[in-house]
Each structure stands twice: as C-alpha cells, then as structure tokens.
Amino acid sequence: MSLMVIGAGSAGFSAAITAAEAGAAVTLVGAGTIGGTCVNVGCVPSKTMIRAVEPLYQARHASRFDGISSAAMVLNWQATVTQKQQLVDELRQAKYTDVLPSHPGVTYLEGSARLTADGVLVDGTLYRPDRIIIATGSSNAVPPIPGIDSVPYLDSTSALALTTLPASMIVIGGGVIGCELGQMFARAGVKVTICCRSRLVPGMETDISEHLARYLEDEGIRVLTGLDYRSVSQEGGMVTLTYQQDGDRQTVAAETLLLAAGRRPNTEGLGLEEAGVALSARGGIEVDITMRSSNPMVYAAGDVTGRDMFVYMAAYGAKLAALNAVGGEERPYDNAAMPEVVFTDPQVASVGLTAAQARGQGIDVKTSLITLDHVPRYLAARDTRGLIKLVADKATDRLLGAHILAPEGGELIQTAVMAIKAGMTTKELGQTIFPYLTGVEGLKLAAQTFDKDVSTLSCCAG
C-alpha cells in the first residue's frame, strides 16, 4: 500500500508516521517551512510570548499581598522576540526535521502538490499513490471590510515577529487569537482595543465571555462587542475602523491593525474539484466520520477540514485517517470530550456541551456555577478572578460539559475530560477525592454545588 500525505505540519506528520508504522510506503509532501502552523507561527511562539509578559502583570499586582511590592518592565522587546524564535527553531528541528530519519518508511518530498484525475502532480511529476491524505492546514482569514485591502495590517504571524512595540493597536476578532494576542500586547505596554461582531470567545458560555471582558477591561484593554464593521482607512500614520454599534456610527483609531478574525482552510490550488473532492459550507474539505472525503481514495485531516482547529485534534484526526486509509479500518472521529483552552489570563478552558448546546439537542439540563472565591487555592493566591460552570443532564445527572475561567485553568480541564469520557455523574464527581489547595478541587466544589451550598462546608468537607 502506498500513501501520499500532502502537508508537513502536525497532521501530516501524524498521518505519515502512523501509516509507515502500519506498513505503508509513505511519501510526505511539504511546501514551505516544515512543521506547519503550530510550531512555527501558532501555538509555540504565541504561548511563549504570552508567558514572557506575565511577570509584568504579576509585578504590577504584587501589592495584593501586604508588605510586598515589585516592578518589571520591557527592556528589549527585540531580545524577547529573538529568544522566542530560537525556541521555535529548536522545536521545529527536534520535533519535525530530526524525526524523519527515525521513520525509514517515510520519504519526504519538498514541493507543491495538486490532485488530478490520474494522481498527484508534485512540481510537474505525476505520482499515483493508492491513497491520499490532505493535511494542508489553514491560513489567517481576512474579514470582508470595505477598505481592508488598502491599509497595512498585521496577522498573527507578522504580529509575533514585531521587533518593536507599537503605541496602539486595534484587534479585529474576539476569538482565541484576538483575546490572547490582544492581552499579550496590552501587558507589554500597547494601548489595545479588541473589536468583535458578537462577544468575546463566542463559542464559550456567556458567563465566561462576560467575566473575561471585564478582566481585560480591568487591565486597560478596551473591549467593543456587537459591532457592524463599516470601513477601514488610513490617514496620518493611523488606521481608523468605522463601525456601527447599537445604531450609532463610531470610529476607533490606532497605530496598527491586527486581524484575528479566524482561520480559513488551505484548499486553493489543490485541484480538489478535478479530483472530485467536495468542500463543506465552511470551505473545508468535507469528510465523514472516518476522515474520508467524497472521493473514496482521498482522506483529509486537521485545519483543512474546517473543524476543530486545534493541533491535537489535527494529530488525532490524521492518525485515524491513516489507519482507515491504509488499514481498511473504519475508526470514527469522536470529539465529544474535546478540550479547548484559550491562553488568556485567567485562562478559558472548556470541554463538552454548553447549556445552550445541550438544550439545542433537546436535553433538559441543570447547571452549577461557583466563583473562585469559593475555591481555597485562589483565596490563598489572592487571585479569585474567574468561575467554574458545570452542565449536566437533569434526568440522569450525567456530566455534559465543564467550563472554566481561572488562572492556569487549562491545567484543570483534563479532569473534566476524563469525567465526561467515563460517563460520570455530577454526584460521582463531587464524591471523588481531590487534593486540597489545588485549583482542580474547584471541579469537586462545582459538582457539589448542584445539591448544597459549598460556602457552608469546612475545608475538604464532603
């Protein structure tokens, strides 16, 4: 069995390695920098820069402890960016380039691939693999705002490469990227305005969105929601966004404009129509639960499918695609217990259904919500920004969703993932032993809140 994997990012490598281990002869085709979005311009560089500015915030708030004072400042932003790039280069080498020799069943080919009715053209050479997996990822989306093509703007890639900090910035997009990078630049000293059509992190619980907006505003970030973008223009070195909000036409201006309005699947130039590969309404390759496209010889995984755009889901889907493509298996893609983390501070972490999603599926739900001033860990840290909300089936008590806004909240969510995957009830979760003075104990307290007032309990009671 021969397999061609198009795309050399996390999904492509996962598919290629899995297929080679299953005995297939694999050709991995990459165009551009090896490693894809996550290691080069996405997860790795953004999270290290987010962590880099965290001491600035902590120093400013050290006085929350009596008798403590501290100060921190940006001395050399270019040095910070250079260090970030060194980490990117090291991880790309260690996790991608150096990995290839360990898998003799994988042949790496640099070039641009295009599907045809007869096979795959790579820079003019025709290949006829038995199966194909497309894993070409995604790119920054440009929102259709009049004037957007006539003004200079940053995307997440170019923003993370800035070696000097602008004085002010408009961020268009209140999703994961907009919130993460908006807060990062604000903590570094940039005057930031985050603009969005609906609300911050719109796929999350409304309670989380509202609290996150308040915390960002507390840091001096201007948050504008419910906007209808009218135009973008530039004059005198400033970019101006004109928008309509609640019927009023208004403007906001800044030195720089960052577009963080989502990602679009990289499907152009692949010859998909000629190969009979259909696209979904969202512009990604349409796949079934086995990751197979409308062409039974072609599979797809990762961001190019337009769904679940997380690096770990790309790797997961690609592994399934490889096993199904070369092994004749029918393993189904299952995202019911898929965790999501937004690396703001406090972090947003979620798994399973929101209350609205559950009700939309016809489920009679019950919810519990505790603020972090009920969790001893955060009281001890004198940082009670956030909340924990649980969603459960009212009839069966089965846990359906967990939604967290907390400092380092991403470290808490996996417990809820396991609970949902195991089909636990909220009663079982509330009866589970948790270590005291940890953030994850908040999940136990939130589960107990379905039936009791946890403020009346002693430490570790229940």
Question: What residue numbers does the annotated binding site for NAD(+) cover?
Answer: 173-180, 262
Q: Which two tokens stand for residue 127?
A: 């290949």
Please give the backbone phi and psi of residue 127, each rounded to the nearest 5 degrees, phi first.
-115, 145
Binding residues: 47, 136-138, 173-180, 262, 303
Q: Which two tokens stand for residue 13?
A: 């490598």
Q: How far apart are CA 244 and CA 251, in angstroms?
A: 8
Binding residues for FAD: 47, 136-138, 303
Q: Could you tell me which residues are beta bridge partners of residue 258?
A: 154, 171
Distances (CA, A) of 155 to 41, 142, 253, 256, 303: 10, 9, 18, 11, 17
Cα atoms found within 13 Å of the Cα of residue 54, Cβ hemisphere only: 15
Q: State the sign of the Cα–Cα–Cα–Cα dihedral 53, 46, 154, 307.
A: negative
| CA-based radius of gyration for the chain | 24
In the sheet with 113-115, reading across from the earlier edge strand, the strands are 113-115, 120-122, 125-127
| Cβ-based neighbour number of residue 282 at 10 Å | 11
Q: Which two tokens stand for residue 146?
A: 């009049």
